Amino acid sequence: MNKHLVLSEKVKAALAEGRPVVALESTIISHGMPYPENVKTALACERIVREHGAEPATIAVIGGKLCAGLTQEQIEYLGSQGQKVSKASRRDLPVLVARKQDGATTVAATMIIAALAGIRVFATGGVGGVHRGATTSMDISADLEELAHTPVAVVCAGAKAILDLGLTLEYLETRGVPVIGFGTDELPAFYTDKSGFSLDYRMDTPEEVAAAIRAQRDIGFPGGMLITNPIPAEYAMRPEVIDSAIDHALREADKQGIHGKAVTPFLLAEVTELTSGNSLQSNIQLVYNNVALAAKIAAAL
């Protein structure tokens, strides 16, 4: 085992016994939601994983250690500190480890630590992608590169709706990442179940997805897989409402000169405010939906 990796006793036991484990990210705790909803959501996600027969492994960097499986106190700490905790992607891990600092892991960093631990399935809200205007800014999330070469299957509600979804799909195709629609032929758009972009592969059961993941590993492909799971219809937002809020938030980010890793948390906070909190509730429910599916897929593996 990597000397910088620390597994909780429950995660260690589950892996040793061959029981299903689901990785959960921590950026959603520190940077994705306000306190205390972030802590409540994180703990509820762990509970949902257990209810579906798997062991949750919330992942973060704590004191320079790559941790898979956090205590409730550690989750509370990440939530209460919020954006004071570094947002950690692939490039940040070596520095945080060397300096013995804390970091809330993005999709990319969570995938890396999950792979080191031997965890094959990971649930999140939405993955990063190609940002709008990336043809000039070159703002492309490291999540996409990680999916291209790290062997972890990621369950999400599509890429975050603040992104350029068409270019995100094109990038994933170029990098050879299978994108599966769970019960849908169309890429979900995070807050809504449709984006207008068709997917090549639809699967309707966790067992089908597990078989595809197993085949990918058996063939020896180096990368991961993206399983896109639409938000439940009763929690989906009207496209015109969310699109208007996103457009306003993007203009505000441009006006304030916000860029880089600060863009996504800023936009999510702006959209939450512009929708009177409705987008936050949709966000929470889609995460729960993804976590339940990930646990079923992990069990089928």
pLDDT digit string, tens, across residues 207-242: 999 999 999 999 999 899 999 999 999 998 887 887
- Reported as a single tens digit per residue, the pLDDT across 248-260 is 877 887 788 887 6
Q: Do residues 136 and 224 touch, judged by C-beta distance below 8 A?
A: no
Residues 54 and 202 in one domain: no
**Average pLDDT of every residue of the chain:** 92
Q: How far apart are CA 225 and CA 232, in angstroms?
A: 22
The whole-angstrom separation of Cα 161 and Cα 21 is 28
Q: Which of 12, 87, 160, 296 is catalytic?
A: 160
Same domain membership, residue 21 and residue 167: no
- Indicate if 43 and 154 belong to the same structural domain: no
The helix/strand/coil state of 102 is: coil
Q: Which of 12, 25, 76, 296 is catalytic?
A: 25
Active site (annotated) includes residue 40? no
Residues 222, 149 contacting (CB under 8 angstroms): yes
Domain extent, residue 131, equals: 126-301
The alpha carbon of residue 103 and the mean position of all alpha carbons in its chain are separated, in whole angstroms, by 15
Same domain, 261 and 140: yes
Inform me whether the pLDDT recorded for 99 exceeds 80: yes
Residue 30's closest CA among 95, 110, 91? Answer: 110
CATH of the domain at 80: 3.40.1790.10
- Among 18-27, 56-65, 204-213, 251-260, name the one with the lowest average pLDDT: 251-260
Q: Are 101 and 67 in contact (CB under 8 A)?
A: no
Beta bridge partners of 87: 104
Residue 65 tokens read as 């250690």
Q: How far apart are CA 140 and CA 61, in angstroms?
A: 23
pLDDT in tens, 152-196: 999 999 987 778 899 999 999 999 999 999 999 999 988 888 888
Distance (Å) of CA 95 to CA 102, 145, 265: 10, 20, 22
